[in-house]
Structure 1
């Protein structure tokens, strides 16, 4: 599937928008393909309208993005529609390994699978599978790198209140008193005084990220359907790339070292495994603002060079051409 004048790509979701909390990624990927091809060669559609969109647009490639956990999702109809117009079908699964038990549904339908998690990759039985982390969107997440003196927050985090995140922030809370801390998302307990159960838009999250001296990066530890192999997550989620593009230094909880394949420790990101290190990093950002600003600039440049949805679109096209 080479990026020629005849290539046409339709990006759709793998679950209905009514239950899809990550529908925005569909537009991010559409924009990525439009940068590689051109805007007229790319369209996106919710799953509910995908069959009609395929019939009218007649793409050469259909990319289904998301989760295959929704049993009522018309994925077989999606596959039939793609084959009816001669299109190849790729699924980019973004909830591995937490929903890996649903992998057979994807394996039965797609010509090629992309998994967001590297450790999930060797556990697939499909003959054509690639590892493809999520990324950041220039249009939505890119912000100027603000001087440290202009930043109104010491620490920012945005995300769902998974048990491991609650436990970490509860342990850190005593050492964070006196610091300007904001946590947004859903499900946060009242015991965390700095947490607010408010969902932010992607643009608002990028704005708040840009206003912080440090952003906390803590992965998810909650399985939905991962009983078969009980796979631990390996690849960092998209927030790492999004925060870097927003121009803020990051403090990443060390659950694994794959993060170092994307950002260099000490130069582009900081790692920690003890909650006391959070307050220490905040204090250091005040003592060494120039070093933290340089770290943010390097991470932003790294993501712009390798981890936007344009780069992921290029990878998909190359894999589908192989």
Structure 2
């Protein structure tokens, strides 16, 4: 269902600029879009203030900093709602916003959509807010089923790839991972490194740079070759040029953005989810592993037979561009807010 010509306010975390990707797809479908990144810190001063005023108190067990941040973010989001006079308000995640924001959206008269691109178990979203939303979409099949059982209007919308982001492949002999550091990811990358597989992890959780240690409030790092965090175009280039790119979900239910971004940029995706077969054909478009031994063997084959690896990556890219871009998700969003 296509509803062209809506003025849309997209209220979304600043995380890696995904707001611009979603807005671009909506604009290509004929909508006018304003993006409000509710947690953006656009200056060095704002970033330092967030660390000292909002995050530091929580390190000592106080919620004062988090509550202050929520008040600030909520006030800005309320002002954005008032200024936009939007036909549709799409709130992505939104668990950093207080009740004043949701009241402002309700009072605006705009059609609404809450887009959960994280699992509810990992969010701090007030249940009263959740159950009062007129329409919800989520990437998590588990959450969709649970919310439907509660009588809510909810749809399943997968994450996606932004095919419009320009990037330049950076050829390397490494298997790369870009993202947050979780125990299972640490275990896999450490095991590959110990077996002599060239690997590199990118991100502030992995980086040994003093600034990144300070930003994450952590001094220790695993024994894995690492580098600082990168923006999305750089990440696309690094994974596209690497031998292969790791995508570890650990205990997540839905499929992450990387599931679509890696093949979308021509990367050879190594993924730990056999149920990816609903989206890509294992062995032809992506490679699925079930443990360290299988993962290491796939890495070694990809290094030894670049032609084989390249053919799989190219088929994965073709599938992504045909079925898994943000443009493909827009009709689902339009149906959800209608």
TM-score normalised to structure 1 length: 0.80
Is the 2:192–2:199 Cα contact (8 Å) retained in structure 1?
no
The 5 A counterparts of 1:178-197 are 179-188=197-206, 190-196=221-227
Measured in 1, the distance between the counterparts of 2:314 and 2:167 equals: 11
Is the 1:236–1:258 Cα contact (8 Å) retained in structure 2?
no
> Residues 172, 105 of structure 1: CA spacing in aligned structure 2 closer, same or farther, 3 A cutoff?
farther
Question: Which deviations, in whole Å up to 9, do the C-alpha atoms of 1:119-169 show, x marking residues without a partner?
Answer: 1211122520112222121233x657x6xxx83133010111111111222
Measured in 2, the distance between the counterparts of 1:78 and 1:190 equals: 38
The 5 A counterparts of 1:126-145 are 126-140=151-165, 143=167
Question: Which deviations, in whole Å up to 9, do the C-alpha atoms of 1:30-80 show, x marking residues without a partner?
Answer: 111111114xx1111133443333333322211001251x3xx23x33333
Is the 2:193–2:199 Cα contact (8 Å) retained in structure 1?
no
How far residue 2 of structure 1 moved from its aligned partner, in angstroms, is 4.0
How far residue 27 of structure 1 moved from its aligned partner, in angstroms, is 1.7
Counterpart in 1 of 2:256? Answer: 237
Looking at secondary structure, tell me which structure has more helix per residue.
2
**Uncovered stretches (5+) of structure 2, i.e. residues with no partner:** 39-72, 207-219
Measured in 2, the distance between the counterparts of 1:103 and 1:275 equals: 39
How far residue 281 of structure 1 moved from its aligned partner, in angstroms, is 1.6
Would you say 1:66 and 2:93 are equivalent positions?
yes
Measured in 1, the distance between the counterparts of 2:237 and 2:151 equals: 40
Counterpart in 1 of 2:35? Answer: 44
Is the 2:10–2:92 Cα contact (8 Å) retained in structure 1?
yes
The 5 A counterparts of 1:80-91 are 80-91=103-114
Counterpart in 2 of 1:4? Answer: 4
| Aligned length, in residue pairs | 287
Structure 1 window deviating more from structure 2 (283-292 vs 208-217): it is 283-292
Would you say 1:54 and 2:81 are equivalent positions?
yes
Structure 1 window deviating more from structure 2 (50-59 vs 268-277): it is 50-59
Counterpart in 1 of 2:22? Answer: 29
What is the RMSD of the two structures over their aligned residues, measured on CA atoms?
2.4
TM-score normalised to structure 2 length: 0.77
Higher relative contact order (CA 8 A, sep 6+): 1
1:79 to 97, 102, 115: 102
Counterpart in 2 of 1:95? Answer: 118
Is the 1:154–1:282 Cα contact (8 Å) retained in structure 2?
no
**Uncovered stretches (5+) of structure 1, i.e. residues with no partner:** 14-19, 222-232
Measured in 1, the distance between the counterparts of 2:35 and 2:324 equals: 21
Would you say 1:117 and 2:110 are equivalent positions?
no
> Residues 277, 137 of structure 1: CA spacing in aligned structure 2 closer, same or farther, 3 A cutoff?
same
